[in-house]
A and B are shown apart, each in its own frame.
Chain A
Amino acid sequence: MAFVNIQNLTYKYPLTKTPALQNVNLQIEQGEFLAVIGANGAGKSTLCYALAGFVPHFFKGEISGEVEVDGIASSKSTLDEWVMNVGLAFQNPFNQISGAKYTVFEEIAFGLENMGVPREQMKHRVEEAMKLTGISNLADRSPYSLSGGQQQRVALTSILVMQPKLLVLDEPTSQMDPIGTREVFAVIRDLSNSGITVVMVEHKIEWVAQFADRVVALKDGSILMEGKPSDVLTSEILIENGFGVSRYTLAAREAKKQGLWKKEKLPVTLLEAAEGFEINK
C-alpha cells in the first residue's frame, strides 16, 4: 500500500458554503517528490493542512474521507503525535518564527526541545540541518533580522531538523531568489532520494519540471490532472483551465502551429526548448 493514502477526502471550512477539497483521491509512494500546482483558492494549502493533520485537528469544519500516512489514519491520531512524523513548512516565513528564541540556532532547536531530544544530539542535529540548507553562517543572528528568503530557509530547516517521514511544503521558496530556489530544490530532491516523501506546493513550474517526480493539478478543490511533470505541465487541459504554464511551453505551442516545432512533446524548461526548436531558413 502507498505510504500516503488520501481517500475520498472532502472538507469544508467552518462558515463557508463550498468545500475547499472535494473527493480528493491521491496515493503517494515513499520517497516520492510530488508537486502540487493550482490557482489561488484551488485547495492547495488545505491539502497541505490535511496531510499535516491540521485539518481536522486544528481547523474545525465538516470532513469526510480519510488521510493515511504510513498506515495510520489522521482522524485516529492526535495532532501532537502526528507532527512528529509529518513536517509542515508554509509560505509566510515571518509567522513561522516561534518568537520564543533569540538566535537562529535556538530557533531551529525549538522543535527538538519539544521532542525531548538530549542536548548533545540536539546540537549535532541542528548543525547538520543548517549545513544541509546552507545557513550555518546565520546561526547567531536574530531570526527577525533576516531577509524573507533567509527566514524561509530557517523555517524549512526548523522542520527538516525534526526528521519527518513526510515533508509538506507550501510554497517554501516564494521569497527566494533564483539561486536560493535552485539550492532548496536540490536539497529537497536529495531528501526525497534518501527516502523522505515530499509534497510541495509550487508555482515555479520550470523548477517543478526539473525536480519533481509527479505533478498534481488542483482546480476548485478537485484533482484536475496528475502525472509526470513533462506530461501534465505541457497539456492542453492545463492551458484551457487557465493554469499558468511555462513561457517555453507557450512559445513552442505557437511555433508548432507554424511548423517550427517538430517534436511530439512541448518543452517546459529553457533547455528542452533550446534543444527542440528548429529554424526554417
Chain B
Amino acid sequence: MHERLSFYIKRDSLLHRLNPLTKLTLVLALILLAFLTPWYWIAPFLFVFILIPLSFIGKVWREFFFTATRLIFPAAGFLFVMQALFQPIGEEIIFQLYFLDATQESLLFAFRNAMRITVMVSAFTVFLLATHPSELMSDLTRRGLPGQFAYVIIATLQILPQMQAKAQTIIAAQRSRGLDTESTILKRASAILPLVGPLVFGSLVEVEERAIAIEARGFTSKKEKTSLHEIPDTPFDKALRWALISITVLSIMLNLWLS
C-alpha cells in the first residue's frame, strides 16, 4: 500500500468545517503576530491559549501532540541551545560552557526565536491536520489561483511517494542481480549512481504520458471550471477572516507606534 504524503485526518469538527482560506488566514495571522511583535510573552501565549485549544476543537490534539513532542519541541530546543550559546549579546554571564557563554539577553533572545518557530510550525501542523489539500487547492483556484499552480502542488504531494516506491523497485530488481547495497558507503554510492538514470528518465517519460492524460480530460480547457465539492464559505468565515486581519494589523501598528 502506498503511503500518502498528506497529514490530513478526516474528522468532523468546527475546525474542519471552516473554509480553507479562513484557516489559512488564521495560520498567517498567528505567524505574523508571533514574528512581528517584540513581546516575549506573545508566542508562548499564542501556543498555549490558541494553538492547543484549536487542536482540541479540531479533534486532532493527539496527532498534534505527537508531532509537537517528536518534531517541533526537539527542533525548537536545539535552536534555543544554539542561539543561547552563540549569540554574542549581553554582559552578565549566567553560565559558561568552555568558551561559550549564555547571558540573560542571549537566553531571552533564544527563547523568543525558539517560541516563534514553535508557533509557526505548530500553526501549520494544526492547519494541515484539519484541511484536505485538494479542498484547499480547489478553494484557492476558485478565488483566482491559477489551476496549473494548484495542480503542481497537489500532484507533487501525491507523486513523491510513487517515485519513492519506484526507486525501491529498481533497487530491489538490481539487488536480485547482485547489486551491492551492504558494503562500504563509497562502494554503495558508486553502485547506486547508474540506477539514478532509469529513475529520472523513466519519470520524464511518465511526465509526458501524464500530460497527455490530463490534456485528454480537458485540463487546458478555456471554459470556466466547476468543482465537485462544495466548499462552504459562511458569513461566520468572512467575519472571522476580517477579525483576524484587523487584529494582526492593529497589533503591528501598535507595535510600530510604541517603538
Contact = CB atoms under 8 A, between A and B. Distances in A.
Nearest to A101: B134
Nearest to A111: B217
B138 to A, nearest CB: 8
A113 B159 CA distance: 21
Nearest to A117: B226
A83 B217 contact: yes
Given A113-B225, A114-B225, A123-B228, A95 B213 contact: yes
A114 B223 contact: yes
A169 to B, nearest CB: 12
A116 B155 CA distance: 21
Contact of B2 (A83, A114, A144): A144
Contact of A80 (B151, B221, B224, B227): B221
A88 B225 contact: no
A142 interface: yes
A126 B229 CA distance: 13
Contacts of A126: 228
Contacts of B221: 80, 83-84, 114-116
Contacts of A111: 217-218
Contacts of B215: 54, 58, 79-80, 83
A158 interface: yes
A199 to B, nearest CB: 14
A142 B155 contact: no
A205 interface: no
A52 interface: yes
A114 B222 CA distance: 9
Interface stretch (A102-110, A226-234, A236-244): A102-110
Nearest to B230: A119
A148 to B, nearest CB: 14
Nearest to A92: B209
Interface string A195-206: 000000000000
A114 B225 CA distance: 5
B217 A116 contact: no
Contacts of A27: none
Nearest to A93: B213
A80 B134 contact: no
A261 interface: no
Contacts of A92: 209
B20 to A, nearest CB: 15
Given A109-B228, A119-B228, A123-B228, A114 B210 contact: no
Interface residues of B, number: 38
A242 B154 CA distance: 46
Interface in B121-147: 132-134, 137
Given A54-B215, A101-B134, A159-B216, A145 B1 contact: yes
B174 interface: no
B227 to A, nearest CB: 6
B212 interface: yes
A87 interface: yes
Interface string A134-171: 00000000101100000000010011001000000000
A159 B217 contact: yes
Given A99-B154, A158-B217, A80 B222 contact: yes
B129 to A, nearest CB: 16
A142 B1 CA distance: 10
A100 B210 CA distance: 11
Contact of B155 (A54, A99, A114): A99
B25 interface: no
A49 to B, nearest CB: 8
Nearest to A91: B209
A106 B217 CA distance: 13
Contacts of A109: 228
B159 A116 contact: no
Interface in B1-28: 1-2, 4, 6
A185 to B, nearest CB: 21
A92 B214 CA distance: 14
A20 to B, nearest CB: 16
A49 B214 CA distance: 14
Nearest to A99: B155
Q: What are the 9 closest A-B residue pairs judged by CB atoms, nearest first?
A: A111-B217, A114-B218, A99-B155, A95-B209, A116-B223, A96-B213, A109-B228, A88-B216, A80-B220
Interface of A: 49, 52, 54, 58, 79-80, 83-84, 87-90, 92, 94-102, 105-106, 109-119, 122-123, 126, 142, 144-145, 155, 158-159, 162
15 contacts: A89-B216, A90-B209, A90-B213, A95-B213, A96-B209, A96-B210, A99-B158, A100-B134, A106-B134, A109-B228, A116-B223, A116-B226, A119-B228, A144-B158, A155-B213
Given A49-B212, A89-B216, A100-B150, 13 more contacts: A80-B220, A80-B221, A84-B221, A95-B213, A98-B214, A100-B155, A102-B6, A112-B226, A113-B226, A113-B228, A114-B217, A122-B228, A159-B217
